[in-house]
Structure 1
Amino acid sequence: MNSIGIIANPASGKDIRRLVSHATVIDNNEKINIVERVILGAQQNGVKKVYMMPDAYNMGYRVMDKLQTSGELRCDIEVFDFYKVDGVEDTYNAVRGMNEKNVGCIVTLGGDGTNRAVAKDINEIPLIAISTGTNNVYPDMIEGTLAGIAASVVASGKFEKDLYAKKDKIIEIFYENASKDIALIDAVISRDLFLGSRAIWLIENIEKIIVARSHPASIGFSSVVGSKIIITEEDDFGAYVTVDKNQPRVLTAMAAGIVLPIGTEEPVILGFNDEYQFTAFGRGTIALDGEREIEFHKDQTFTFKVSRNGPIHVDIKKAIEVGQMNGFFKVNK
C-alpha cells in the first residue's frame, strides 16, 4: 500500500532559546494545521495510508477528527498505539514502527534535534523535514501541502531515489572504540557541566565546534564555522574550529535576532577518513545539533568522524520536478 509516516514533535521550538532570543513560536495548533496540509497534499496524489506518532497533545487524532468532520479525509490515518513517555523515545519507537510498516517516506515536523532522533533509527526510508524548531539548519521552511505532494512522489516508488534525494553527512561520535551518538549538523564541546535544559546558547562556554556543513547564512553554531568556510551538503568533508576570544572576531548569527562577534582559530578540514580526538581537561558536555546530550569528565577521550552514513534526505522541489517531468500529476479522465 502507498503509505507515508508523519512524526510531529509537540516539543519542538519550545526550548530555552525561545527565552533568550527573538525566535518565532510554532505552537501545536499550527503543527496540526501543517499536518493536515501534508495529508491533503499526499492523499490527492495517491497516498492511501498515513502512520503517525502518538503524542500528549493528540495531534494525530485531532487531525483525523478535523478532516473527517470537513469531509476531506479519503486516506486511512493510523496513530501508533504504544506507551508514550512524552520524550525522544516516542520518536525512536515511531520510526521503528514506520520501518516495520515499510512506509514509502517519512515526514517530520521539528528542528535539528527531532531529525537527529529520526536519523538514529531510520532505515533506507527517504526523509522530508519541515522546520518547526528553533535554530534550524537541517529541515526546510516549506508549505505542508508541497511537502505532502513531494512525499506522494517519493512513496509511489516509481522513481529512482537519486533523482530527488541524497545520502546526508553526519558526525559520528565514538567513546572507547564504540559508537556513542551522532549529529546531523554540529557537535559542540562545552564547559557547561550538566545537561540541564539541554539547549546550548552561551558562546563563552564553548571550546570546539565540529560541523558536517557550515554556512554564514545559517543560524546557530554551524554558522560560526560558516563565517570562516562554507561547507555544503555535497562536500565530502566537514571541519572543526577552536573558539578563542583572542582571535579576530567575526559577526555571526547565533540565534533569531542575536548577532555576536565570535573569535575562532582557522578551520581544520575533516575528510571522511580523518578523525578528531578530544581529550577532556575537566568536566563538560557535548551538544549535538544544539542540545546537550553527553557529559564528560577529565581524561575521557572522544573521537569525531564525518561520514555519509546519514538519512536519505529528500529535496522537495526536485521530487516535485521529477513528478512533473514524468507525468505523475496528470489526471486520467
Structure 2
Amino acid sequence: MAAPTIGLLVNPAAGRDVRRLTGGATVSDTYGKRRAAECVLAGVDLAEDPVDILVAPDGGEIGQRTVAEADRSDVRLLDTPVDDTSADTRRAAEAFRERVDAVVVFGGDGTTRDLAVEIGDVPVLAVSTGTNNVVPTPVDGTVAGAAAAFLATDAVDPGAVTYRHTMVEARVDDGRSIRGLATVGVVDQSFVGTRAVLDPDDFLGGGVSRAGRGEVGLSGVAGALTRVDPDDGRGVALELDAGAERTVGAITVPGVVERVGVAEWSHLAPDEEHGFEVGEAVVSVDGERELEVQNAEIGVRPVSDGPRLVDFDAVFEAAPLAADARAVERR
C-alpha cells in the first residue's frame, strides 16, 4: 500500500506583475518562496505517521533545489516537463491527481485556478504568494505542511475541513469559454497587453463567485453590496459605469482604495447567466486579461465544480492531541 503522500508546487512567477509597481502589494521573491517550500518539509513532521512529499519542478528551479537540498529520503521530484508557463502547473496537477492525498500550492489566484483545472477531488492547501489574492491564504509554510500531513494521514476527516469553491465562467457566443476562480471581468480594452487590469474604470462589468467587504478587486466591489460565501454556489453579476449615480468604496488593487460606479447588480443562482453585449472588449479572469472579443455577447455564470479547498483553521481544530498527552489524560 502506498504511503500517504502530499504534493508541493511553487509558482516562481507568482507575485511579479506590474501591480507591484502601481499599488502596495508585497513582493514574494525566489528566495522567500524556496524558504517557504523548505518549511513545508519541516511541517509534515507534526503528524504522527510518516508522509512522502512529491515536489513539482518549475522554471525557477525552486522545486528542484528544494528536493536536492532536502536531507531526507521521503522527498522526491515529480517527473514532468517544464516550459516556464502556466502549463507547468496544469501538468503537475494532472500528475498529482492520481498520486497524492493533498497538495500545497504557493501562488496567487491564477496559480490556484490553473491547478484547479486538473486536480480533481484532491484537497488543495492554497498559500498566498501572488499579487491580488482573493482565494489563497497567507499562512506559514510549516503550518501548510502540517495541515497537509494531517489530511494525507487521515488524522482529520477531509470532508469536515474542506469545501468546494464555486468558480465563475465566461462564455463568448463564438464558442470560446474561460473560467475564473473568483472573478470574470468584461474590460473596455481592445488588447490583452500587459494582462493586469489596473484601472477599475476600465471594467464594463463582470461576475464573481464570492463577495466580501475585505476582498480585493471585483469581489470586493460586489462585497460592498452583498455577501456571498465561496461555497455558496451562487454568484453576483455587476454592471459598472464610472458615471453611475451609485458608487461604492472598494480595495481595487493592493494598497489602493477607490470609489467604483455601479449601474446595476444582481445575485446569480447556480448556472444562471448574465449577458453583456460588446463591440470590442477583453475578458479578464482573476484580475488578468485573457480573451480579446469583438462584436460578441458574453455570458457570465457561477459554476459549482471548483477546487476542493482546505480550511486551515478547521484542520487544526480537528487535529488529534499528541499520543503522550492522551495517555496522561487517561491516567
TM-score, L = length of structure 1:
0.91
Equivalent in the alignment of 1:258: 256
Q: Are 1:128 and 1:314, in contact at CA under 8 Å, matched by a contact in 2?
A: yes
The alignment status of 1:143 with 2:140, answered yes or no, reads yes
Equivalent in the alignment of 1:100: 98
The alignment status of 1:301 with 2:304, answered yes or no, reads no
Output the CA distance in 2 between the equivalents of 1:177 and 1:160. Answer: 44
Which residue of 124, 127, 131 corresponds with 2:124?
A: 127
SS of the equivalent of 2:263 reads coil
Greater Cα shift, 269-278 or 83-92:
269-278
Output the CA distance in 1 between the equivalents of 2:40 and 2:50. Answer: 11
Which residue of 37, 40, 45 corresponds with 1:38?
A: 40
Q: Are 2:205 and 2:238, in contact at CA under 8 Å, matched by a contact in 1?
A: yes
Task: Summarize the Cα distance change of 1:287–1:331 in structure 2 as closer, same or farther, 3 Å threshold.
Answer: farther
Which residue of 40, 46, 70 corresponds with 1:67?
A: 70
The alignment status of 1:196 with 2:193, answered yes or no, reads yes
Q: Are 1:246 and 1:263, in contact at CA under 8 Å, matched by a contact in 2?
A: yes
Give the alignment's Cα RMSD to 1 decimal: 1.9
Task: Summarize the Cα distance change of 1:124–1:234 in structure 2 as closer, same or farther, 3 Å threshold.
Answer: closer
Structure 1: stretches of 5+ with no match in the other structure: none
Task: Summarize the Cα distance change of 1:177–1:127 in structure 2 as closer, same or farther, 3 Å threshold.
Answer: farther
Alignment of 1:187-266 (within 5 A): 187-247=184-244, 248-266=246-264
SS of the equivalent of 2:319 reads helix
Q: Are 2:166 and 2:305, in contact at CA under 8 Å, matched by a contact in 1?
A: yes
The alignment status of 1:118 with 2:120, answered yes or no, reads no
Structure 2: stretches of 5+ with no match in the other structure: none
Output the CA distance in 2 between the equivalents of 1:35 and 1:330. Answer: 28
Which residue of 158, 162, 178 corresponds with 1:161?
A: 158
Equivalent in the alignment of 2:30: 28
* Cα deviation digits, residues 285-318 of structure 1 (max 9, x gap): 11101111111111x2232221221111110111
Output the CA distance in 1 between the equivalents of 2:276 and 2:219. Answer: 19
SS of the equivalent of 1:283 reads strand
Equivalent in the alignment of 2:53: 50
SS of the equivalent of 2:212 reads coil
* Cα deviation digits, residues 30-78 of structure 1 (max 9, x gap): 111111111111144234321122112211232234432xxxx3x5222
Q: Are 2:171 and 2:300, in contact at CA under 8 Å, matched by a contact in 1?
A: yes
Q: Are 2:67 and 2:76, in contact at CA under 8 Å, matched by a contact in 1?
A: no
Q: Are 1:171 and 1:186, in contact at CA under 8 Å, matched by a contact in 2?
A: yes
Task: Name segments (4+ residues, structure 1) moved above 4 Å.
Answer: 176-179
Output the CA distance in 1 between the equivalents of 2:43 and 2:172. Answer: 44
Equivalent in the alignment of 1:286: 283
Which residue of 308, 313, 329 corresponds with 1:312?
A: 308
Output the CA distance in 2 between the equivalents of 1:110 and 1:214. Answer: 21
Equivalent in the alignment of 1:8: 10
Report the alpha carbon displacement of residue 284 of structure 1 after superposing the two structures with TM: 1.5
Task: Summarize the Cα distance change of 1:158–1:178 in structure 2 as closer, same or farther, 3 Å threshold.
Answer: farther
Q: Percent identity?
A: 28
Report the alpha carbon displacement of residue 174 of structure 1 after superposing the two structures with TM: 2.8
Report the alpha carbon displacement of residue 158 of structure 1 after superposing the two structures with TM: 4.9
Report the alpha carbon displacement of residue 10 of structure 1 after superposing the two structures with TM: 0.2
Amino acid at match of 2:19: R
* Cα deviation digits, residues 254-307 of structure 1 (max 9, x gap): 122211111112421101141112232x12111101111111111x22322212
SS of the equivalent of 1:263 reads strand
Aligned residues: 322
TM-score, L = length of structure 2:
0.91
SS of the equivalent of 1:242 reads strand
Output the CA distance in 1 between the equivalents of 2:257 and 2:156. Answer: 43
Amino acid at match of 2:263: E
Which residue of 287, 309, 330 corresponds with 2:323?
A: 330
Equivalent in the alignment of 1:82: 80
Task: Summarize the Cα distance change of 1:47–1:244 in structure 2 as closer, same or farther, 3 Å threshold.
Answer: farther
SS of the equivalent of 2:110 reads helix
